[in-house]
């Protein structure tokens, strides 16, 4: 329990100093620098005030500060029954048909001072709102590298911190825009592995010279995300990549994972072992586009699934499922005039550094179209260049959003098998 | 309504274990994959079915006996098995398939803090049962596709209680010879229980393959598993057994759930043992011919195979085994992708009748085209 500190208090504005002081102290204890601790404090202040005034005033709020080793996370947990539901949308205060100033936005303001903000629905009808701030690490600048020379047999190992730093520093010297930014920070990756959320593998010769490596983590309990393998010795690329990937498979094949995902490109020699799902495109530094090819492979037999769709996407889904040989029973969801009430909630996963936001429906409502427009306007005003929306094809009501999204300039980009209750359909905003 | 706090009630090693999800029933799979016919080449079943005597037992089971409990400890079957191996009936324990017998073993000998030893690329249930029982499973890599006796010996420590050896190994078909098994048992020297799982015993034709049952007298720490699911073709009835030293089995019996083996299974198993129609000979002939046929066909497709003993072989593919599984399912052929066995890009194929083998080859040609 040494990696988390809990606080329970009423969501009353008079307790605001307690929450803020607690967050600052906990963040510092967990190693966040003064400036970053202040930033997560400011976000905590915004969120606590917002929850106390707009969402669940007076109700019990469970707060938790978690030491993720390379980041500090503050979580706010409250029961769904007390919600002013619509207020949980990050764009709740945005009027989609007005140009008025985006002030007094609570959650929206909080996103500006942290690296990630997320909202998720949990068991027992609880909502968890979380903010994360990464620790500061020195980065390795791009520079020319001396060629690596390895001799004799290679062996795959789980490197220690120095081994990880050496491997990541080597990758950082020849930047690849498809890789996540943590590949520029060797110390950060060492901490990510030490924290247990990520695993590293390197292929080394008998002298310890590193021929390549890969990083992987559980993106969800059922999907392993793999970065790499990166190989530093071109003449031994096939052998090195195969060894690293085989060990990665051995470590994940008997876990909860159903599949392995790679969004950063796989070496040519491994491409026959993956299936190409499609691509996501990220804008970087203005309008330059970086394409992220999405490769995937299942670890087990496909158990099959029922997926729900709007008629507008039936052909697309049939075509895609047929192309990737996944057995799915498609069920069309149609509006039969049934009554819908209340405001919908979308969770927004913010990644400030990559100028990226991923929207995800949490709760159905009557205002899908207006809510999508509010979020788009908010994200654009926040300068977010890359906007995605994911639909869980295993949850019937989410299919109603498909047409709404396409009418608002989203297009279906790819299907990620088993990434939700069933498969996730990624929409990209054009 | 107050929901139970499963984080408190359930041990971490159970919460974190991923339950095995068996494949759906054939009609559901056929509907999903759009195949009017499905050749089941994934579970090493015997397509000849049970011997004729066992078929008679199944066919003639009187429905009113469905209301009567079976023999709680498979009395007649234990006596029959014991008489065939010149043992005391109490040296035999019958379970609801060999999987249940594995659970008996772990429960009898292990507690948290202990470990079991087995191989990385073998029948997964030893590792699973240990893991969800809070017991460490030490996984020793195969060496040249076979159990590595030296590696396993090196992994033993004071907390090691049971060592599981699958002989012949599923899925590689490799086996320990009589000499290797005796060397290993001598080296263990009674400090741990050594389980030799002989689920595919009846398929093996190699002369130096050991009969574990004959070694029990000399090695009281040896426990042998056998099953009626493979050669005898009554997998659907779920029945298997273990044999060992009287005192060892007496300990295991304490963790054994009585009445778990149904009447039909017990009587069909008896009929299997009493078969005089050369069921084993017919099955071996079919398996031998299918192995030769598939080895030739896979060689023509330039696909390496690992073919040893047992009614299965492994084919190495140029790409993903799990994708091949899906493509073959669309062609009405179900095989076992091997990534879960830590053999990525390999598939295991049951050696069945000629028609099924030809269907598999035709589907492979289509999939690889």
Closest CA to A125 of A79, A62, A85: A79
What average pLDDT score do residues B220-243 get? 97
CA distance A197 to A224: 11
Mutation target among B4, B19, B344 for the A interface, most CBs of A within 10 A? B344
Search chain A and give the residue with CA nearest B15. A256
| Distance (Å) of CA B61 to CA B46, B66, B240, B265, B266 | 22, 9, 20, 11, 12
Mutation target among A325, A326, A330, A418 for the B interface, most CBs of B within 10 A? A325
The predicted-structure confidence for A149-187, as pLDDT tens digits, reads as follows 888 999 999 999 999 999 999 998 887 888 888 999 999
Rg (CA), chain A: 23
The confidence band for A430, taking pLDDT boundaries of 50, 70 and 90, is confident
Token pair for residue A255? 């876990």
Placement of tokens 């490109």 in the chain = A265
Better-scored residue on pLDDT, A348 or B306: B306
Instruction: Produce one character per residue of B71-82: b if its CB has 16 or more CB atoms within 10 Å, e if not.
Output: bebbeebbebbb
> Would you state the pLDDT for residue A140?
83
Looking at chain A, the whole-number percentage of residues with pLDDT higher than 90 is 58
Residue A399 and residue A309 in contact, taking contact as beta carbons nearer than 8 Å: yes
Please check whether residue B303 touches A, CB under 8 A.
Answer: no
Are A304 and B32 a contacting pair at CB < 8 A?
yes
CATH 3.90.1150.10, applies to B6-49+278-368: yes
- pLDDT of residue B5 exceeding 60: yes
Same domain, A294 and A384: no
Nearest to A273 among B127, B319, B326 (CB): B319
What average pLDDT score do residues A404-429 get? 95
A149 belongs to a structural domain = no
Residues from chain A contacting residue B29 (CB–CB below 8 Å)? 304, 327
Same domain, A3 and A125: yes
Residue A86 and residue A343 in contact, taking contact as beta carbons nearer than 8 Å: yes
> Would you state the pLDDT for residue A178?
84
The predicted-structure confidence for B289-303, as pLDDT tens digits, reads as follows 999 999 999 999 999
Supply the CATH number for residue A128's domain: 3.30.565.10
Are A325 and B345 a contacting pair at CB < 8 A?
no
CA distance B226 to A171: 53
Mutation target among B129, B339, B342, B347 for the A interface, most CBs of A within 10 A? B339
Closest CA to B329 of B364, B357, B294: B364
What is the nearest CA distance from B105 to chain A, expressed in angstroms? Answer: 22
Are A253 and B339 a contacting pair at CB < 8 A?
yes
- The DSSP bridge partners found for residue B314 are B306, B348
Per-residue DSSP letters for B48-107?
T-S-HHHHHHHHT--GGGGGSPPPTT-HHHHHHHHHHHT--GGGEEEESSHHHHHHHHHH
Residue A39 is part of which domain span? 1-136
- pLDDT of residue A101 exceeding 50: no
Work out how many domains chain A is built from and give that number: 3
Per-residue DSSP letters for A290-320?
EEEEEEEEESS----EEEEE-GGGHHHHHHH
Closest CA to A214 of A206, B116, A225: A225
Beta carbons within 8 Å of B310's beta carbon, 6+ residues apart: B44, B168, B170, B173, B200, B203, B204
The predicted-structure confidence for A289-316, as pLDDT tens digits, reads as follows 888 899 999 999 988 889 999 999 999 9
Beta carbons within 8 Å of A417's beta carbon, 6+ residues apart: A258, A259, A296, A298, A302, A324, A326, A423
Query: How many residues are given for chain B?
Result: 369
The predicted-structure confidence for A108-134, as pLDDT tens digits, reads as follows 777 778 888 888 888 777 889 999 999
Supply the CATH number for residue A351's domain: 3.40.630
Same domain, A180 and A126: no
Q: Which helix (H) or strand (E) holds A250?
A: helix A237-252
Q: Choose one of A282, A298, A314: the last residue of a domain.
A: A298
Q: Which helix (H) or strand (E) holds A390?
A: strand A386-392
The predicted-structure confidence for A133-150, as pLDDT tens digits, reads as follows 999 999 887 777 777 888
Q: Choose one of A270, A298, A326: the last residue of a domain.
A: A298
Q: What is the ipTM of this complex?
A: 0.83
The confidence band for A106, taking pLDDT boundaries of 50, 70 and 90, is low
- pLDDT of residue A282 exceeding 70: yes
What is the nearest CA distance from B19 to chain A, expressed in angstroms? Answer: 8
CA distance B241 to A186: 54
In sign, the C-alpha dihedral spanning A176, A241, A419, A43 is negative
User: What is the separation, in whole angstroms, between the first and last Cα of chain B?
Assistant: 58
Q: What is the mean pLDDT of chain A?
A: 88
A353 belongs to a structural domain = yes
- pLDDT of residue B67 exceeding 60: yes
Tell me the fold of B52-273.
3.40.640
What average pLDDT score do residues B256-277 get? 96
The confidence band for A105, taking pLDDT boundaries of 50, 70 and 90, is low
Please check whether residue B13 touches A, CB under 8 A.
Answer: no
Token pair for residue A188? 């950060």
Mutation target among A62, A156, A254 for the B interface, most CBs of B within 10 A? A254
Search chain A and give the residue with CA nearest B127. A254
The predicted-structure confidence for B127-142, as pLDDT tens digits, reads as follows 999 999 999 999 999 9
Same domain, A169 and A275: yes
> Would you state the pLDDT for residue A93?
63
Search chain B and give the residue with CA nearest A124. B3
- The DSSP bridge partners found for residue A290 are A282
Are B327 and A299 a contacting pair at CB < 8 A?
no
Same domain, A71 and A93: yes
> Would you state the pLDDT for residue A382?
85
What is the Cβ-side half-sphere exposure of residue A62, based on CA atoms within 13 angstroms?
9
The predicted-structure confidence for B71-80, as pLDDT tens digits, reads as follows 999 999 999 9
Nearest to B322 among A246, A256, A297 (CB): A297
- The DSSP bridge partners found for residue A356 are A351, A386
Please check whether residue B10 touches A, CB under 8 A.
Answer: no
Residues from chain B contacting residue A297 (CB–CB below 8 Å)? 320, 322-323
Residue B151 and residue B198 in contact, taking contact as beta carbons nearer than 8 Å: no
Nearest to A325 among B21, B323, B337 (CB): B323
CA distance A424 to A280: 14
Q: Choose one of A279, A298, A317: the last residue of a domain.
A: A298
Please check whether residue B323 touches A, CB under 8 A.
Answer: yes
Rg (CA), chain B: 21
What is the nearest CA distance from B95 to chain A, expressed in angstroms? Answer: 26
> Would you state the pLDDT for residue A82?
57
Tally C-beta pairs within 8 A across A and B.
76
What is the nearest CA distance from B188 to chain A, expressed in angstroms? Answer: 28
Beta carbons within 8 Å of A42's beta carbon, 6+ residues apart: A110, A113
Helix (H/G/I), strand (E/B), else coil: B310? coil
Residue B369 and residue B362 in contact, taking contact as beta carbons nearer than 8 Å: no
- pLDDT of residue A102 exceeding 90: no
- pLDDT of residue A103 exceeding 60: no
Question: What are the extents of the domains in chain B?
Answer: 6-49+278-368, 52-273
> Would you state the pLDDT for residue A50?
85
Residue B271 is classified by DSSP as H
Residues from chain B contacting residue A329 (CB–CB below 8 Å)? 31-32
Token pair for residue A41? 């404090």
Closest CA to A390 of A420, A352, A360: A360
CA distance B314 to B325: 13
Closest CA to B28 of A303, A37, A148: A303
- pLDDT of residue A347 exceeding 60: yes
Better-scored residue on pLDDT, A384 or A338: A384
Closest CA to B198 of B254, B155, B153, B244: B244
Search chain A and give the residue with CA nearest B19. A256
What average pLDDT score do residues B165-188 get? 97
What are the φ/ψ torsions at residue B89 (nearest 5 degrees)? -55, -25
Are B319 and A272 a contacting pair at CB < 8 A?
yes
Are B18 and A255 a contacting pair at CB < 8 A?
yes
Please check whether residue B21 touches A, CB under 8 A.
Answer: yes
Query: How many residues are given for chain A?
Result: 430
What average pLDDT score do residues A316-329 get? 95
Helix (H/G/I), strand (E/B), else coil: A226? strand
Residues from chain A contacting residue B18 (CB–CB below 8 Å)? 254-256
Residue B81 and residue B92 in contact, taking contact as beta carbons nearer than 8 Å: yes
Q: Which helix (H) or strand (E) holds A4?
A: strand A4-10
The confidence band for A244, taking pLDDT boundaries of 50, 70 and 90, is very high
Are B320 and A297 a contacting pair at CB < 8 A?
yes
What is the nearest CA distance from B85 to chain A, expressed in angstroms? Answer: 37
Q: Work out the angle between the directed axes of helices A34-50 and A16-29 (0-180°, nearest 10).
A: 150
Token pair for residue A193? 């592995």
Token pair for residue A246? 């085989």
Are B24 and A303 a contacting pair at CB < 8 A?
yes
Search chain A and give the residue with CA nearest B327. A325
A147 belongs to a structural domain = no
Are A253 and B24 a contacting pair at CB < 8 A?
no
Same domain, A326 and A293: no
Search chain B and give the residue with CA nearest A302. B326
Least confident of A92-106, A175-189, B145-159, B247-261: A92-106
What are the φ/ψ torsions at residue A278 (nearest 5 degrees)? 150, -165
Placement of tokens 């929206």 in the chain = A108
Better-scored residue on pLDDT, A220 or B289: B289
A15 belongs to a structural domain = yes
Query: Which chain A residues have any C-beta within 8 angstroms of a chain B C-beta?
Result: 123-124, 245-246, 249-250, 253-256, 272-275, 297-304, 325-329
């Amino acid at each position: 329990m040494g990696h988390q500190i809990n606080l329970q208090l009423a969501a009353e504005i008079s307790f605001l100093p307690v929450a803020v002081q607690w967050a600052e102290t906990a963040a510092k204890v967990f190693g966040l620098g003064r400036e970053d601790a202040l930033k997560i404090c400011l976000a905590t202040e915004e969120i606590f005030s917002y929850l106390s005034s707009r969402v669940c005033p007076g109700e019990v709020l469970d707060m938790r500060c978690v030491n993720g080793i390379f980041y500090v996370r503050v979580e706010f947990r409250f029961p769904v029954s007390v919600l002013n539901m619509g207020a949980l949308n990050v764009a709740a205060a945005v009027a989609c048909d007005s140009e008025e100033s985006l002030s007094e936005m609570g959650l929206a303001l909080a996103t500006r001072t942290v690296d990630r903000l997320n909202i998720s629905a949990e068991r027992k009808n609880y909502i968890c709102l979380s903010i994360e701030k990464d620790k500061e690490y020195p980065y390795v600048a791009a520079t020319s590298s001396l060629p690596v020379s390895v001799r004799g047999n290679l062996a795959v190992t789980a490197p220690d911190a120095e081994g990880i730093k050496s491997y990541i520093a080597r990758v950082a010297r020849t930047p690849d825009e498809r890789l996540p930014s943590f590949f520029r920070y060797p110390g950060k990756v060492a901490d990510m592995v030490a924290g247990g959320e990520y695993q590293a593998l390197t292929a080394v010769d008998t002298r310890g010279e590193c021929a390549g490596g890969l990083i992987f983590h559980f993106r969800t309990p059922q999907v392993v995300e793999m970065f790499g393998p990166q190989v530093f010795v071109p003449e031994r690329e096939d052998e090195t990549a195969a060894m690293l990937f085989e060990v990665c498979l051995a470590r994940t094949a008997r876990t909860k994972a159903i599949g392995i995902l790679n969004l950063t490109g796989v070496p040519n020699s491994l491409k026959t072992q993956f299936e190409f799902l499609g691509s996501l495109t990220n804008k970087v530094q203005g309008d330059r586009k970086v394409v992220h090819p999405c490769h995937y492979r299942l670890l087990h037999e496909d158990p099959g699934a029922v997926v729900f769709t709007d008629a507008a996407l039936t052909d697309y889904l049939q075509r895609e499922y047929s192309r990737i040989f996944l057995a799915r029973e498609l069920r069309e969801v149609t509006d039969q005039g049934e009554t819908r009430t209340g405001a919908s909630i979308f969770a927004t996963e913010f990644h400030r550094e990559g100028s990226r936001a991923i929207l995800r429906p949490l709760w159905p409502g009557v205002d899908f179209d207006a809510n999508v427009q509010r979020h788009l306007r908010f994200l654009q005003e926040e300068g977010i260049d890359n906007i995605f929306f994911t639909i869980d094809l295993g949850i019937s009501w989410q299919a109603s959003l498909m047409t709404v999204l396409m009418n608002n300039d989203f297009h279906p980009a790819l299907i990620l098998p088993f990434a939700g209750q069933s498969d996730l359909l990624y929409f990209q905003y054009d | 309504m107050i929901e139970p706090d499963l984080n408190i009630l359930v041990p971490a090693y159970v919460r974190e274990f991923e339950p095995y999800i068996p494949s759906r029933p054939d009609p559901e799979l056929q509907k999903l994959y759009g195949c009017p016919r499905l050749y089941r080449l994934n579970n090493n079943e015997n397509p000849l079915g049970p011997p004729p005597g066992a078929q008679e037992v199944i066919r003639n089971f009187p429905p009113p006996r469905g209301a009567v409990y079976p023999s709680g400890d498979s009395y007649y079957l234990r006596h029959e098995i014991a008489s065939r191996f010149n043992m005391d009936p109490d040296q035999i324990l019958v379970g609801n398939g060999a999987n249940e017998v594995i659970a008996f073993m772990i429960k009898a000998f292990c507690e948290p803090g202990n470990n079991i030893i087995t191989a990385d690329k073998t029948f997964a249930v030893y590792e699973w049962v240990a893991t969800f029982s809070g017991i460490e499973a030490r996984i020793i890599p195969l060496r040249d596709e076979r159990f590595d006796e030296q590696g396993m010996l090196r992994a033993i420590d004071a907390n090691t209680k049971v060592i599981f050896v699958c002989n012949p190994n599923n899925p590689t078909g490799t086996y320990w010879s009589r000499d290797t098994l005796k060397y290993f048992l001598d080296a263990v020297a009674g400090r741990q229980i050594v389980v030799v799982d002989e689920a595919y015993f009846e398929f093996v034709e190699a002369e130096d393959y050991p009969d574990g049952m004959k070694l029990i007298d000399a090695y009281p720490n040896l426990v042998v598993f056998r099953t009626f699911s493979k050669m005898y073709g009554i997998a659907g009835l779920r029945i298997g057994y273990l044999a060992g030293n009287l005192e060892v089995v007496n300990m295991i019996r304490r963790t054994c759930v009585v009445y778990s083996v149904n009447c039909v299974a017990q009587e069909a198993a008896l009929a299997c043992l009493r078969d005089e129609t050369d069921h084993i000979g017919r099955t071996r002939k079919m398996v031998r011919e299918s192995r030769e046929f598939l080895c030739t066909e896979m060689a023509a497709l330039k696909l390496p195979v690992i073919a040893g003993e047992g009614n299965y072989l492994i084919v190495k593919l140029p790409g993903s085994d799990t994708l091949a599984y899906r493509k073959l399912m669309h062609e009405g052929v179900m095989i076992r992708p091997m990534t879960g066995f830590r053999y990525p890009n390999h598939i295991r194929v049951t050696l069945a009748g000629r028609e099924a083998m030809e269907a598999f080859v035709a589907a492979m040609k289509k999939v690889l085209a």
